[in-house]
Structure 1
Amino acid sequence: MAPGKKVLIVGPGFIGWAVLDLLAKENYEITGYVRRKEHADQIKASGATDTVLGDLNDKALITKHALSHDIVIHTATADHLPSVEAILEAVQQRAEKGLSTIYIHTSGTSLIDDGAAGAYKGDKVYHDNIVSEIDSVSDNAPHRQIDLAIVRVQKKLREKAKIAIMIPPTIYGYNPHHGRLSIQIPVLTRYALKHGYAGYVGAGLPVESNIHVNDLARGYITLLHHLESTPANTPDILENPYYFCEMTGDNEPSWQDIASLIGTELHKAGLIPDSKTRTIPPENYGDLFMDFTPVAIGLNSRSRAVRLRELGWKPVEKSLSESYIQDELAVILKEDVDRKAFDGYHGVVAS
């Protein structure tokens, strides 16, 4: 479909590497913007045409390379404004020269966190075909300031660019060719191995939609093909940049359910004394996500991928529990680390 189409992926890590695999199969010309030479070699083996070694804060370098690409996909993090500004600068410069750019940014459904902090199951469900639902969230919501910066440029350029924001929920899954795990559930597992029990924030009642990383990657490809084939002046492009990508519908597990899954499997393996789950005390949040723990694993975040499904996308991968039992747990248990020294996750959680 796409000989001659040049794609720049900024941060082809857990999500972006899976997207890169699919793009390579369709003969896109792919440049990966990465931090490490080792990872550059890995994505070249997966089909990247070229790589650029650079830091997300190097705005000039990102803009330089985005200027020469028809398509830019940002999957590095949902919360890094300088790299987003660098891409938007390139999109605007290209528009001034009459060159249209497709830009897909990765946000996350912490955007729609209701502040439950583990206390209750929320009733609010957000649908991506109703733009007012997403625009109703606070400007101070997680990821929102980044998303708004993108929306402002989209409204300014209108049909001169095609800009979309992918908003994934909790991501799970494992690709043995990449050797990378997701974040929330592996961190909860490492916490359980350190402390001897599987836990949750507060009462563990909130629920969050979820998606397998490979289904999410197919969602990006479905979205890309839609943007490529749809005129830039259509209402679908101009009026709504948001796309959810979830697989569970109304069957989202609660965080207590996820703790139960972890506890059951670790107890079965003889690694914790029992499968009983319990509330994690706030003084232990340093072994999870520090001050962001109530947002990362205590939120209600219920989304429906109406738009991708209308485009023909559908999830086909293993469920969260199947993937955990069959794939991810074995990888976590093989980690060569001092489990008692585990002190949580210090990065940013995209969802």
Structure 2
Amino acid sequence: MSASSATLSAASTLFSVNILITGATGYIGGSVLTRLLGSGMMFRKNANFTALVRKQEQADLLSTKGVNGVVFAGLDDTEVLRKQASQHDIVINTASASHLQAAEAILLGLADRKKGGKMACLIHTSGTSCFGDNPVSGIYRDDNQEIIHSDNEPNTIKHQLLYAYEKHREETHPYPQRTTDVFVMERSEQLGVRAHILCSPTIYGIGTGFFNRLSIQAVGIMRAARRDGYVFVIGQGAGEWDHVHIEDLSSLYELMVDHLTKGNFLPCNMTGMYFTEAGHHSWREVSERVAKEGFRLGYLPSDEVREVTLQEAKEKMGSDMPAELLELGFASRSRTKAGYARELLGWDPVKTRTDFEESFAKEWEAVMQEIA
């Protein structure tokens, strides 16, 4: 029996499904967890959830929600990661997109589980900064500035173009998140474990988790603007990205779990990259909307947007953020098409352009509550 058919056989005969989630106290992981807990899909009736957390009080709170909270030392605690992964059918890794050692420990644990003929699947979380260019530093520029990366075009599946693209980028200039993507695709193939990477663009909206509910990119700009009194944009802000609402994204994780527990085979490993776009924006638009809503709500003295250099932006966002990450995450062009999600999983995002535009006011209010 092949590795894939063995996995499908195991999945189709499951009476219960054990799901492990990392990053459950975070923005993505917390929202995914609450979505799964409240799911009306078939898997929910017999699903058991475990979450790895760093504090006992977090584990205690999760236990009141029907989740087994396991306290561990963090992602460097690879022994615990491997052991816990070996005890679960599906591992949803939302804790870090760039911690390669943690990803390997999870894959090794799933491989241990698979040896017993049990279901062993990974849903790994990544981001589309891996596909962004470097318009400021010039480290990398796509020859085709109109390119939109697709996960389900026939030639993509046949020639594994997304894997090849990331592999090529790594050979010329490594980037930790992309390094981890490539590793997960290659190592899962070697181990015979099914790995699926959900690669998301800008995620917006207030989360639904029990802990952190704030996003990263727009919120980061808001915090800096509140401190400085004006909103910045790197250069002209011409780079375009996609976006997805956190609730739509959580529903995609739910759909994937549903398909996996039903034994439906989904592209994985070398062809297992799933994009999650549901709209797009420019960085100039993001900064202008942050400024407009911040001024309207009385949080900023004006709706001014100042163009700054990459180094100036780095100083505003904190010296701990690498310049390359800042450039890829706040200035690059990265466009994608979520074909797999829509065609294979039946994903149908419900949030609209209006929801994106209205999210800036809601996130401003959440940021101000945090500051208070």
- TM exceeding 0.5: yes
Provide runs of 4+ in structure 1 moved above 6 Å. Answer: 118-121
Structure 1 counterpart of 2:197, from 156, 165, 170? 165
Matched residue, 1:345: none
Matched residue, 2:368: 333
Structure 1 counterpart of 2:293, from 265, 274, 278? 265
Matched residue, 2:277: 246
Tell me the secondary structure at the aligned position of residue 199 of structure 1.
strand
Greater Cα shift, 184-193 or 286-295 = 286-295
Residue 48 to residue 85, structure 1, CA distance change in 2 (3 Å): same
Q: How many residues align?
A: 329
- Quick check: which one's helix share is greater? 2
Tell me the secondary structure at the aligned position of residue 33 of structure 1.
strand
Residue 118 to residue 299, structure 1, CA distance change in 2 (3 Å): farther
Tell me the secondary structure at the aligned position of residue 146 of structure 1.
helix
Structure 2 counterpart of 1:72, from 88, 91, 94? 91
On the 8 A contact 1:125/1:304 being kept in 2, the answer is: yes
Matched residue, 2:3: none
CA RMSD of the aligned region, Å? 2.4
Tell me the secondary structure at the aligned position of residue 74 of structure 2.
coil
Instruction: Return the offset for 1:276.
Output: 2.7
The question of 1:54 aligning with 2:73 is answered yes
Residue 83 to residue 238, structure 1, CA distance change in 2 (3 Å): closer
Q: Which residues of structure 2 form unaligned runs of 5+?
A: 1-11, 39-43
Q: What is the rounded CA distance, in whole Å, between the counterparts of 2:21 and 2:73 in structure 1?
A: 12
Structure 2 counterpart of 1:286, from 302, 315, 320? 315
Q: What is the rounded CA distance, in whole Å, between the counterparts of 2:313 and 2:363 in structure 1?
A: 24
Matched residue, 1:152: 186
Residue 152 to residue 22, structure 1, CA distance change in 2 (3 Å): same
On the 8 A contact 1:127/1:306 being kept in 2, the answer is: yes
On the 8 A contact 2:30/2:207 being kept in 1, the answer is: no
Tell me the secondary structure at the aligned position of residue 180 of structure 1.
coil
Greater Cα shift, 70-79 or 126-135 = 126-135
1:204-242 CA distance string (max 9 Å, x none) = 00011111111111111112222333455x7x3466211
Q: Which residues of structure 1 form unaligned runs of 5+?
A: 338-351
Q: Which amino acid aligns with 2:86?
A: L
On the 8 A contact 1:215/1:316 being kept in 2, the answer is: yes
The question of 1:174 aligning with 2:209 is answered no
Matched residue, 2:35: 22
Instruction: Return the offset for 1:287.
Output: 1.9
Residue 122 to residue 164, structure 1, CA distance change in 2 (3 Å): same
TM-score by length of structure 2 reads 0.81
Matches within 5 A, 1:1-351: 4-12=16-24, 13-25=26-38, 26-27=44-45, 28-117=47-136, 122-129=145-152, 130-131=156-157, 132-135=160-163, 136-137=165-166, 138-139=169-170, 140-158=174-192, 161-175=193-207, 178=210, 179-230=212-263, 236-237=267-268, 240-248=271-279, 252-281=280-309, 282-288=311-317, 289-291=321-323, 292-310=325-343, 311-317=345-351, 319-325=355-361, 327-336=362-371
TM-score by length of structure 1 reads 0.86
Q: What is the rounded CA distance, in whole Å, between the counterparts of 1:322 and 1:17 in structure 2?
A: 22
1:290-346 CA distance string (max 9 Å, x none) = 523212201111111111111211111363221222x21111122236xxxxxxxxx
Tell me the secondary structure at the aligned position of residue 194 of structure 1.
helix
On the 8 A contact 2:133/2:333 being kept in 1, the answer is: yes
Tell me the secondary structure at the aligned position of residue 219 of structure 2.
helix
Q: Which amino acid aligns with 1:82?
A: Q
Instruction: Return the offset for 1:273.
Output: 3.0
Instruction: Return the offset for 1:116.
Output: 1.9
On the 8 A contact 2:184/2:269 being kept in 1, the answer is: no
Matched residue, 1:349: none
Instruction: Return the offset for 1:157.
Output: 3.6
